[in-house]
Every structure is written in C-alpha cells, then in structure tokens.
Amino acid sequence: MAVVTSLESAEWQDVDEVAWQETMQEVEQGWLAEEPFPDLERHFIAKWFPIQQKDKTRLIDDFSICGVNSAFGMTEKLRVDSIDEIVAGISVLMDTDGFGTRATGLLGRTFDLKSAYKQFGVDAAHAERLKIAVKRPGGGIGYFKVLALPFGATGSVAAFLRISAAYVGTKGLSIPWSVFFDGLEADTTFYAEALFKLLGINFASEGSKAPPFSEKFKTLGLIVDAENAKEKTVRLGHTPERSSELLDTLEEVLSHDQVSTKALEQLHGRIVWFRTFIFGRKLNAATRILSWFSRKPLPRIALESKLRGALMDLKNHLMKSTTVSINRDLNETWIIFTDGAFEPTNAQPASIGGILINPSGKVISYFGSYISGTLLNDFLAESRHPIYELEIFPLVVAIRAWSKFIMGKW
C-alpha cells in the first residue's frame, strides 16, 4: 500500500506521460500485461517511475521497495567479467604460437543485444504475483503483470548473467565471448549471429551498434587499438568522447561555489567506472573524498577546499591520462621485497632495504641503506616513531630504481 500511496500523492509531471507511453509500448511488446484488479494484500507491487537524465527519460523499476529483492538469495558467486579479463585474454592470445604469422593480426567487434533483459521471461508462477504500479494520465494508478525480466530485480541480474555466459557459444562453437577474436572474422560473425537467431535473441545487425571486425574497436566507452598486435602490443584507453564529457562535467562543478549532492553522486559513479583499470593511491584518495561528500544528507553543499582539491586532482588526471599498453610482459611476474626499520637507541636508527626477483626466481638487484640527516628529520617531524614512512619509502626507491624491469608486468 505504501507504493500505491506514494504514487497517488505525487503530482503529475511531463515525465509521467513519457513513462505511461513507454509502459504501453512494453504491453504491446508482450513484456507487461495489464492487471485490472490486483490483490494488494497478496501481490508484490513494485514502483515504476521516471527520472530525467539530460536529454532522455529513464524508467526505474524499484523491486526493493516491495521486498522482492530481499527475498532473493543464491549460494554461488556471480562472475562479472571486467576490463581485466579482456586485458589478460589479449595478453595470453599474443603469447600463443603462430600469432605473429596471421595476416590479420588481432581483430575485434561488439554485438549489441536489443532490450537484453526483456528478451527473457519470468517464471509463470512468479509473474502471477509480481506487479508494477505506474501513474495513469488523468489520475489513478495502473497495475501491470511482469512477464519479462525486470531490470530492477536482483534475480534478473543472476538470470541474465547465466544466459550471457553463453555456454552453447563457448563450448559448442568455440567462440571466445569477449571483445577479442583471433582471425576468421567473417566466419565468427556468421556463427555468432546464427546462434542469436537460433535462440531467438534480438541484436543490432546494422548501423552504428553493429560494427564490422576491425583493428580498432569500442566497448563500454573504451577503445582497443590492435594495429600493432603483430608486434605483440595492444593499447587500451577511454574514447575521446567519454574523456571530454567527464572533463566538461568536472569543469562545470568547479565553476560554482556550491554543488548538489545528487550531482556529486552521479559524478562519483562515472569516475569509479572511468578509473577501473587505473592504479594509483592519489586518484583513489580523491575518489573517496568525492564519495564522502556525495553522501552528505543535504540537497546542496559548499565546494569547500577539501572537495575542490579532490576534484582538481581528478581533473588534472583526465587532462593528462594516456592509453594503457597490453603486451606479453603482462604474463611475467616479478617479485619485490622491501622493508624498513626504526630503532631509536641505535647510532643509525633508521634503515631500508629491497630485493628484486625475476620470473625465474633469480635475484636481479638489491639495495640497503641507513636513513639519516634531513630526510630522517622530516620523518621525525611528523611522527616520533616513523615506521610507516620507513615502510613506504623503500617502495618509492624500488619503483624509481627498477622501473625498467617491472614496467608493464605483474
């Protein structure tokens, strides 16, 4: 009843008309079915409402509010492949015998499923009790039976991830379902498209979302550049459009003295995705500060020095960010041991050391030294027992001394 009450008490807005029209389209598609007389005591009523995102309206189906998401659980852990798996796969592929002899090198493309979740049905028994409520034009509430996987339900995520693993494609057709393929692009396209058609899955077969195989291909706002793949190097970076848009957003926020916490929350989500394959404590620290301010219980907050500084760090990173190089070196694991010690009673109280070991287990280089003079005084000015600084300092020395050995490796 709380869901119905909240919808009834809200004033009608222009976006509600968009929501109603889209609801009718889903009814025509067979994804929803009107329910004239829902049992509000026995049925789970989800909230179906619109939000405005820049130039488009997005419908949100909230299945947490009616307890559906809380009722879902699973014993196994969901596996969601990320850019890390793509990078690792490309690196392994470049290490395969005969890779350099292929005429085409490395080609890739993406397949875009149309209304991906909506192509798969809900269990009939669940559909009988699962409803959504949406505001009607002119007043009142419309109720609809959910026949296709709803995006806002936790169970839908688990179901779709199982489907997207496409076991029949990987085992039956030996297609590596990712954004990289090793030649035979025409055959691979045919097999993948034929499998989609056999399974009745709608996908983009033409236009910008159905690109041909290419040495440069996009996926999730990233560009994979395989033009130099035959030389065992592939580059990965964000699209210029994604970087430029995010930079514009940061500059817009920094141009004001106040900002809405909602805008900070949206910016934080985009920053988190943008830095998913970027290492660095400074960028992580700036992102945590942004997250902390975005969760303040106020509609607007002042752009104080700490928040402004974090946003400036993120902006400076965006302005100088470069692509990441993927090569066979990623398969090499080098080990570095470092340590620092502080014994105030000794004549030389502070010391550091480090050892570099190559993938074959051989010691390549090492260092050890006492710390004294100005540097130690700087450490003691911040702490009476500066063990933290002495543990971190040998890492800095190791990176600077051995960067030529460990660059681009695990």
CATH code of the domain covering residue 72:
3.10.10.10
Q: Is the predicted pLDDT of residue 188 greater than 70, yes or no?
A: no
Same domain, 10 and 143: yes
Same domain, 7 and 143: yes
Q: How confident is the model at residue 366 (pLDDT cuts 50, 70, 90)?
A: very high
What is the distance of C-alpha 51 from the center of its chain?
22
The whole-number pLDDT of residue 356 equals 95
From 326, 357, 391, the end of a domain falls on 326
Comparison of pLDDT for 100 and 289, the residue scoring more: 289
Question: Which are the contacts of 303, defined by CB distance < 8 A and separation ≥ 6?
Answer: 253, 254, 256, 257, 258, 259, 311
Q: 94-97 contacts: CB < 8 A, separation 24 or more?
A: 94/229, 94/232, 94/234, 94/326, 94/327, 94/328, 95/328, 95/331, 96/182
Does 215 map to a domain?
no
Same domain, 360 and 397: yes
- Cα separation of 242 and 355, whole Å? 41
Is 49 in contact with 19 (CB distance < 8 Å)? yes
Q: Is the predicted pLDDT of residue 316 greater than 50, yes or no?
A: yes
Q: Is the predicted pLDDT of residue 376 greater than 80, yes or no?
A: yes
- Cα separation of 32 and 12, whole Å? 22
- What percentage of the chain carries pLDDT values higher than 90? 15
DSSP string, 366-390: EEEEEE-THHHHHHHHH-SS-HHHH
Same domain, 393 and 282: no
CATH code of the domain covering residue 268:
1.20.120
From 309, 326, 343, the end of a domain falls on 326
Q: Which run of H or of E encompasses 53?
A: strand 44-53
Same domain, 305 and 338: no
Burial class (CB in 10 A: 0-12, 13-18, 19+), 81: middle
Does 350 map to a domain?
yes
Half-sphere exposure of 186 (CA within 13 A, CB side): 1
Same domain, 6 and 53: yes
Same domain, 44 and 147: yes
Does 225 map to a domain?
no
Beta bridge partners of 224: 217, 236
Q: Is the predicted pLDDT of residue 234 greater than 70, yes or no?
A: yes
Does the predicted model carry a pTM greater than 0.85? no
Q: Is the predicted pLDDT of residue 351 greater than 50, yes or no?
A: yes
Of 341, 337, 410, 329, the residue nearest 370 (C-alpha):
341
- Output the furthest CA–CA distance in the chain (Å, rounded): 87
Same domain, 250 and 147: no
Q: How confident is the model at residue 375 (pLDDT cuts 50, 70, 90)?
A: confident
Does 222 map to a domain?
no
Same domain, 28 and 61: yes
Burial class (CB in 10 A: 0-12, 13-18, 19+), 267: buried
- Cα separation of 20 and 10, whole Å? 15
Q: How confident is the model at residue 164 (pLDDT cuts 50, 70, 90)?
A: low
Comparison of pLDDT for 163 and 271, the residue scoring more: 271
The encoded tokens of residue 174 equal: 């030996």
Report how many domains make up the chain. 3
Arithmetic mean of pLDDT, 228-254? 82
Does 68 map to a domain?
yes
From 262, 293, 326, the end of a domain falls on 326
Q: Is the predicted pLDDT of residue 184 greater than 50, yes or no?
A: no
Strands (DSSP E) found in 241-327? 258-260, 300-302, 324-327
Same domain, 313 and 350: no
Segment 99-137, tens digit of pLDDT: 554 555 677 767 777 777 777 777 787 777 787 888 888
Of 119, 102, 131, 125, the residue nearest 32 (C-alpha):
131
Same domain, 63 and 33: yes
User: Could you tell me the CA-to-CA distances from 397 to 76, 249, 342 in Å, in that order?
Assistant: 43, 37, 17
Does 23 map to a domain?
yes
Beta bridge partners of 352: 340, 369
Same domain, 346 and 302: no
Segment 299-313, tens digit of pLDDT: 899 998 999 999 998
* Host domain of residue 305: 239-326
Does 214 map to a domain?
no
Does 267 map to a domain?
yes
